[in-house]
Copies of this chain bind each other. A is one copy, B any other.
Amino acid sequence: MTDPSPPTKDRLLEAAEHLFASRGFDEVSIRELAAAAGVNIAAVNYHFQGKENLFHEVCARRFSAQRDRTLQALEALQKESNPPPTLAMVIRTLVNEYLEGTLAADGGPGFLMAVSRELHEPEACDRGAMFKNMIQPVFSSFSSALQNVAPQLDPDQMTWIIASIVGQIHHFIMRWVKKEAMDPQNETYGIMLRIFPVLGEPLPVYIEQVTDHITRFTTAAITGMNREESA
């Protein structure tokens, strides 16, 4: 069973991941998928029982990869207790893993955009299960990590704070319009973003700068809200 070229199903998954990420679900036909994978058109329905199912499998693969990556980073941060992690470090870890994982992956921000649209459509996919299996674990882990470094944090506020963080992250991801590898040796940090400034031309920035900003902004917000409440 040592196939030199991977089986049809895997090649289809790989091609689908790339095409769906770069062009969205509706915009890519199964004829394109089959051509890109070098397989017959009927293979999609034979192996996945329809285009929709193939898309769901691709989503599940990438979601779980992103989830595992983030959980691992948060876990590692919790373990290294010398020096103990700070609030800013916990936030930075989540933001960094989210941005890097989403932008460095094949297709860049396209996949997040494709899946976010699908998530808000009719009950095509089981959003409840998707959320419970993919998103909830990350939320829980991040939430408890936050509690550790900011014990005074009101648990009721946790949901709101996480929403504000995720909102910022998604917004910056959606604004990524160009992918340029500046330094071949460290290409992750070469991915660039052009955000629209208040005035003037779009501004090219690095992932690092975005991580820095969200971390500083969010850390200041959390500590500030605490200070305000105890006053």
Say yes or no: B213 contacts A135, CB within 8 Å: no
Say yes or no: A198 contacts B160, CB within 8 Å: no
- A161 contacts across to B, CB distance below 8 A: 217
Q: Interface residues of A: mostly helix, strand, loop or mixed?
A: helix
CA distance A171 to B143 in the complex (A): 19
Which of B162, B213, B221 interacts with A224 by CB under 8 Å?
A: B221
Count residues of A near B (Cβ-Cβ below 8 Å).
Answer: 50
Say yes or no: B158 contacts A198, CB within 8 Å: yes
**Partner-contacting stretch, out of A29-37, A96-104, A112-120:** A112-120
Known: A120-B113, A198-B140, A221-B218. A163 touches B158 (CB 8 A): no
Q: A159-B195, A220-B227 are in contact. List 11 more A-B contacts (CB 8 A).
A: A113-B117, A139-B198, A164-B168, A167-B168, A167-B170, A167-B172, A170-B171, A171-B171, A217-B225, A220-B222, A223-B224
